[in-house]
Amino acid sequence: MPGDPATIALGPRASEAQKVAFRQEMGLDQSLLVQGWHFAGNVLRGDLGTDLLTRQPVLQLVMSALPHTAILALTGLGWAVILGIPLGCLSTIKPNGWLDRLIGLFSTSVIAMPAFLLAIYALIIFSVTLRWLPAMGAGDGGDLGDRLMHLILPALAVGLAWVGYIARLVRASLLETLQENHVRTYRAFGISNFRIALRFALPIAMIPVVAVIGVGLGNLLSGAVLVEVVFARPGLGSLAQDAVVQRNFPVLLGTVVVTTALYVIANFTTDMIAALIDPRIRKES
């Protein structure tokens, strides 16, 4: 993108000498290779650089914005799991029946819609037209009810697509598990299909779902970035957007590094949970 960080930070009336001094001070006069090398070394020491405009540590800015994004992503994932798993189970009652087809149509529809588009529609319908929910911001910091009201629409936009993902995955995994030999043995002993599905088949069918949830959390973080911009919420999304507009490269790099680290941590955590659920994974390890 065009634009000079020195001009944006110092203003249009700054002299060329001031701009040169600013670039030297912030290391912007060095090659991209050298800047990247220095940045990587600083990251290993826990230093994400300095904000070009406020001169505050980037790590401090990112850590202050991270809780807002984490709460939004976890809330979206939480209600996606709460709705997606029962919908997936309902689809297996009568495969290819009317209920299965209806849930499949709903799942495919929400999967196809990006989070920012869902955010815009939710904003227009529930805030502008119906005026049921607040449109912008994160609410009053001292009022928990107000903060929850401001969280409903963003969490809906972030998590709705993953309701479809989880429902389809639970359906496919549960149908496969119900065809295994040990499930047929339970049927031979006269155990009801409902109890077999919930008590014996569902825990096994949840293993691939848990693995996908780790990927989903990383994707929800990236989706939350766009949703935060639509709803003008504080968080990594707003921080990254401001950094792009201001050509504030250290802040933008800091948000990318932290988001990537969270993605890796989420996948590692779900791998550990899958190992706790399935003894076969622990034995292979």
Q: What is the pLDDT along the chain (285 residues), one digit of tens a residue?
A: 666 777 777 777 778 888 888 888 777 778 888 888 888 888 888 888 888 788 888 899 888 888 888 888 888 888 888 898 888 888 887 888 888 899 889 888 888 887 778 888 888 888 888 888 887 777 776 777 777 888 888 888 888 888 888 888 888 888 888 777 777 787 777 777 777 777 777 777 777 787 777 777 777 777 677 788 878 788 888 888 888 888 888 888 888 888 888 888 877 887 787 777 766 666 665
| 182-216 tens-digit pLDDT | 777 877 777 777 777 777 777 777 777 877 777 77
Q: Class assignment of domain 57-284? A: mainly alpha
Query: What pLDDT does residue 128 have?
Result: 82
Instruction: Measure the CA dihedral 178/183/189/191, to 10°.
Output: -50
- What pLDDT does residue 283 have? 66
pLDDT at 284: 63
CB 62 within 8 A of CB 254: yes
Give the per-residue pLDDT at 97.
85
pLDDT of 56 reads: 87
The answer, as to whether pTM is greater than 0.75, is yes
Burial class of residue 41, CB neighbours in 10 A (0-12, 13-18, 19+): exposed
Tokens of 70: 């984490």
- CB of 254 closer than 8 Å to CB of 61: yes
Q: How many CB atoms lie within 10 A of CB 19?
A: 17
Please name which of 167, 52, 55, 50 lies closest in space to residue 106, comparing C-alpha atoms: 167
pLDDT value at residue 265: 84
Q: What is the pLDDT of residue 268?
A: 83
